[in-house]
Amino acid sequence: MSEKNIYLPYLMRIAEITEESPAVKTFRLEFVDDVAAQSFDFKTGQFGLYSAFGEGESTFCIASSPTRKGYIECTFREVGRVTAALADKEVGDIVGFRGPYGNVFPLEDWKGKNLVFIAGGIALPPLRSVIWNCLDLRDWFKDITVVYGARRVADLVYKRELKEWSERPDMKLVTTVDPGGETPDWTGKVGFVPPVVEQLGLSAENTVAIVCGPPIMIKLTLPVLQKLGFPPEAIFTTLENRMKCGVGKCGRCNTGKSYVCKDGPVYTLAELNQLPAEY
């Protein structure tokens, strides 16, 4: 009896393409196979390997919320061979998807707490999944705050959703761009993410912080959160080590005893402190 081939992707049809910012696109993907569509399920925080047939696979998070059924979304920046090929695709084209892989954000544990999401640049997609998930389960949580920064206004992704979030009464959105990155009609803040977080007057009391961004932003934001009194167990992030298999075999994402593809990508700062800083 032959076992299942764990490297075989689902075939997905591109249902919608959104241009988010220069070289950044969001795909909405629908399963070609109805049976797969019915049985597929994932939790927020998980990721997948997306194939451009002819070029290979690339790893990104699932950027949509599991509460939105029938499709998944991914957002990617064109940086390499596979993402360049994906960027050339059009609506109706077929791509591959393997997943969902990895661990999840523990939403059950966050019930009754305040949530602070802090994201920088292209790192909003993993948080977008969990933000929508939390908004769709709004009564589980107390205050929800989102801080999102990018270098320039043009680099902000999900602009339509940012507008929607800014208008929602049940959450607070703070957007910021780096000094010099503002446009004349920019109404958000100007400044780097860490000081913006510091000035928000957040309370660490009964609050979890979910941080995702470029390494430098994370590096400078963590001390701010610790200064505000967030214990390492209440700070979550998601790692983006290079991966090939996604199923704990190929060794590429191995960091300490952890396989980011299996034990991650979601880690608390307390967990990260136990790992060598090889991410």
Partner 1 sequence: MEALKQRAIELLEKGEVKAVLGYAKGTGQARRAFFARQPGQVDKLVLDEACTQNLAAYATKHEVKKLGRVAIVAPPATQRALIQLMAERQLRDGDLAILAVDEGAIKELGSAAALEEHLALKAQGLDAKDKTLLAKLDAMSREDRWAYWQNEFSRCMKCYACRNSCPMCYCEHCTMDCNRPQWVPVASHSIGNLEYHMVRTMHLAGRCVECGDCGRACPVGIPVHLLTISAEETVHELFGQRAGAKAKLDYALSTFKTDDKESFIR
Partner 2 sequence: MANTYQLSRESLTSLFGALRKDGRRILAPVESDGRIGLGEVEAPAQVAGDYLQTIMSAKEVAFPKVERLLSYTITPGQVDLKDAEPKAAPTVLFGVRPCEAKAFGALDAVFNWDYRDKFFNARLEKLAVIGLSCTKADEACFCTSVGGGPADTAGSDILLTPVADGYLAEVLTEKGTAILNLASDLFKPGNGVDKVAVAAKVEAAFDQPALTAKLPGMFDSEVWVDQSLRCIGCGACAFVCPTCVCFDIQEEADPKQGERLRCWDSCGFHMFTLHASGHNPREVQSARWRQRIYHKFSYYPQRYDQLGCVGCGKCTRACPVDMNLKEHLTEAAGVTA
Cβ–Cβ < 8 Å for 151, 181: yes
Q: Which among 58, 64, 68, 77 has a CA at the least distance from the CA of 9?
A: 58
How many chain residues interact with partner 1 (CB under 8 A)? 3
Q: Identify the residue among 40, 89, 93, 159 touching partner 2 (CB under 8 A).
A: 93
The answer to whether 125 and 96 are in contact (CB under 8 A) is no
Token representation of residue 32: 């070609």
Contact pick of 26, 64, 83, 145 for partner 2 (by CB under 8 A): 83
By the rule CB under 8 A, 35 interacts with partner 2: no
Regarding 80 and contact with partner 1 (CB under 8 A), the answer is yes
- CB half-sphere exposure, 31, CA atoms < 13 A: 16
Which residue, 56 or 181, has its beta carbon nearer to partner 2? 56
Residue in 92, 112, 184, 201 binding partner 2, rule: CB under 8 A: 92
- For residue 94 the two structure tokens come to 């077929």
Tell me: does residue 226 bind partner 2 (CB under 8 A). Answer: no
CB 265 within 8 A of CB 45: yes
Q: How far is CA 141 from CA 17, 135, 210, in A?
A: 32, 9, 14
Round to whole Å and give the CA distance between 61 and 77: 12
Residue 252 interacts with which of partner 2, partner 1, none, CB < 5 to 8 Å by class: partner 2
Count CA within 13 A, CB hemisphere, residue 234: 19
89 lines the binding site for partner 2 (CB under 8 A)? no
**Binding partner of residue 70 among partner 2, partner 1, none, CB under 5 to 8 Å per kind?**
none
The residue among 231 and 251 lying less far from partner 1, judged by its C-beta, is 251
Tokens coding 263: 């034990």
Pairing of strands 144-150, 172-177: parallel
Instruction: Name the residue among 205, 171, 196, 188 with its Cα closest to residue 118.
Output: 196
Q: Which of 54, 112, 169, 201 binds partner 2 (CB under 8 A)?
A: 54
- Smallest distance from the beta carbon of 56 to partner 1, in angstroms? 8
Kindly compute the dihedral angle of the four CA atoms of residues 196, 232, 162, 85, in this order, to the nearest 10 degrees: 110
Answer yes or no whether residue 81 interacts with partner 1 by CB under 8 A: yes
Query: Is residue 257 part of the contact set for partner 2 (CB under 8 A)?
Result: yes
Taking the complex as a whole, the smallest distance from the CB of residue 11 to partner 2 amounts, in Å, to 6
Q: Is 254 in the site for partner 2 (CB under 8 A)?
A: yes
- d(Cα 70, Cα 76) in Å, to the nearest integer? 20
Q: Which amino acid is at 200?
A: L
Q: For partner 2, give the closer residue by CB, 98 or 189.
A: 98
Q: Which 84-123 residues touch partner 1, going by CB under 8 A?
A: 84
List residues binding partner 2 (CB under 8 A).
2-9, 11, 53-57, 79-80, 83, 92-94, 96, 215, 240-242, 244-245, 247-252, 254-257, 262, 276, 278-279
List residues binding partner 1 (CB under 8 A).
80-81, 84
